[in-house]
Amino acid sequence: MTSAALKPGLFRPNLVRQAQAWLLLLPALIFLLAFTHLPTVSTVWNSFFSTSAGTPVDFSTENYQFLLEDEVFCQVLDNSFWYAVVTVPASMALALAMALWVNSKLSGKAALRLAYFTPTILPMISVANIWLFFYSPEIGLFNQILEWFGSDGYNWLGDPDLSLPSLMVMTIWKEAGFFMIFYLAALQAISPELYQAAEIEGASRFRMLRRITLPLLMPTTLFVLVNAILNAFKLVDHLFILTKGGPNNASNLLLYYIYENAFSFFDTAYAAALTVVLLMILVVLALLQFGVLERRVHYR
């Protein structure tokens, strides 16, 4: 108890209660400030300095002006856009399909669920290493299979047209299992009596899926969507192993480009400006998701 608690006064108890509340919030607040808010502010601050020899000097907007002229940035933004647009819906659709399948009555479904979930347990780095063996030009699994059919195979990661799609396939493979778990949990929370009632009313399987399952999965879909989009921008571990953004930035993504600028080219101010752009994109997406979709989601 603080000393204020000992002195009775008209406004004292209120003050003590407020102090207590702040004290209880303090540990979380410190961490949030130190690791989220301060870096954000300092990033925005740093992005307004020009850099020479790794240290920021004068205040200017030249980083942002350069953004517009930077062709690599445009390509990276384009790549990131397509990467998100393809992997997010594809992995969600696949996750839903797998969850619906695994949720049905079928023997050995525990093993199947585990099989689907395995990619999620693996760290992205190991996943990338495994897929490196799939994609390798000479010894790779895909090319060996293609060889049986008389094809020469492709240079999956070396071809500018194929490198980004190759990364997408791997990402979908990894993400779908993770999202499946959320869908599976949501599916199991739906009362079987709802389906029985629908069945008695003569609803077809497709109708049940469209009128009951999908609407009741909407909260999960929103949650998964937010996570999927964040992951699409956040996950770049595989780039380190597989392509390093190449060839000629064909598979470079925004976050990896930020990393390159900050730690390979030591242009921290430009990296900060790029980070601000990334932040802006994510904020806009989050606002869109919660603002538009929230209204159409039924929460139980």
Partner 1 sequence: MSFLSVRQLTKAWRDTRTSAHSDSPFVKAVDDISFDVAEGEFIALLGPSGCGKSTTLKMLAGLETPTAGQILLNGRDITHLPPGKRRLSMVFQSYALFPHLSVKDNILFGLQARKVARQEQHKRLMEVLELVDLQEQVHKKPGQLSGGQCQRVALARAIVSQAPLCLMDEPLSNLDARLRNEMRCEIRALQKKLGLTVIYVTHDQIEAMSMADRIVLLNQGRIEQMGAPHQLYTQPETTFAASFIGHPPMNLLTLQQDVLGIRPEQIRVLGTTDNGVPPEDCLSSADQAIATSLPVDQVAETSLTSDLIQHTLPVINCDYHGADTQICLDFNGQVLKLSLAGHHVLSPGHRLTVGWKAEHEHRFSSKTGQRLATSSVPRHSLSKETKKDTSHVA
Q: How far is the CB of 197 from partner 1 (least distance, A)?
A: 4
Q: Which stretch binds partner 1 (CB under 8 A): 11-19, 78-86, 147-155, 212-220?
A: 212-220
Q: Is 293 in the site for partner 1 (CB under 8 A)?
A: no
Q: Is 230 in the site for partner 1 (CB under 8 A)?
A: no
Q: Which stretch binds partner 1 (CB under 8 A): 16-24, 209-217, 266-274, 281-289?
A: 209-217
Q: Is 210 in the site for partner 1 (CB under 8 A)?
A: no
According to the 3-state scheme, what is the secondary structure of the chain? CCHHHHCCCCCHHHHHHHHHHHHHHHHHHHHHHHHHHHHHHHHHHHCCEEEECCEEEEECCHHHHHHHHCHHHHHHHHHHHHHHHHHHHHHHHHHHHHHHHHHCCCCCHHHHHHHHHHHHHCCHHHHHHHHHHHHCCCCCHHHHHHHHCCCCCCCCCCCCCCHHHHHHHHHHHHHHHHHHHHHHHHHHHCCHHHHHHHHHCCCCHHHHHHHHHHHHCHHHHHHHHHHHHHHHHHCCHHHHHCCCCCCCCCCCCHHHHHHHHHHHCCCHHHHHHHHHHHHHHHHHHHHHHHHHHHHHCCCC
Q: How far is the CB of 128 from partner 1 (least distance, A)?
A: 40
Q: Which stretch binds partner 1 (CB under 8 A): 43-51, 127-135, 203-211, 225-233?
A: 203-211
Out of 162, 212, 226, 277, which residue is the one contacting partner 1 (CB under 8 A)?
212
One-letter identity of residue 49: F
Q: Is 200 in the site for partner 1 (CB under 8 A)?
A: yes
Q: Which stretch binds partner 1 (CB under 8 A): 109-117, 169-177, 196-204, 270-278?
A: 196-204
For residues 285 and 293, what is the distance between their CA atoms, to the nearest angstrom?
11
Q: Is 216 in the site for partner 1 (CB under 8 A)?
A: yes
Out of 198, 209, 225, 262, which residue is the one contacting partner 1 (CB under 8 A)?
198
**CB nearer to partner 1: pick between 111 and 200:** 200
Q: Is 207 in the site for partner 1 (CB under 8 A)?
A: yes
**CB nearer to partner 1: pick between 34 and 197:** 197
153 to 192: interface string for partner 1, x by CB under 8 A: --------------------------------------x-
Please say whether the beta carbons of 80 and 87 come within 8 A: no
Q: How far is the CB of 185 from partner 1 (least distance, A)?
A: 17
- For binding to partner 1 (CB under 8 A), which residues are involved? 191, 193-194, 196-204, 207, 211-212, 215-216, 218, 298, 300
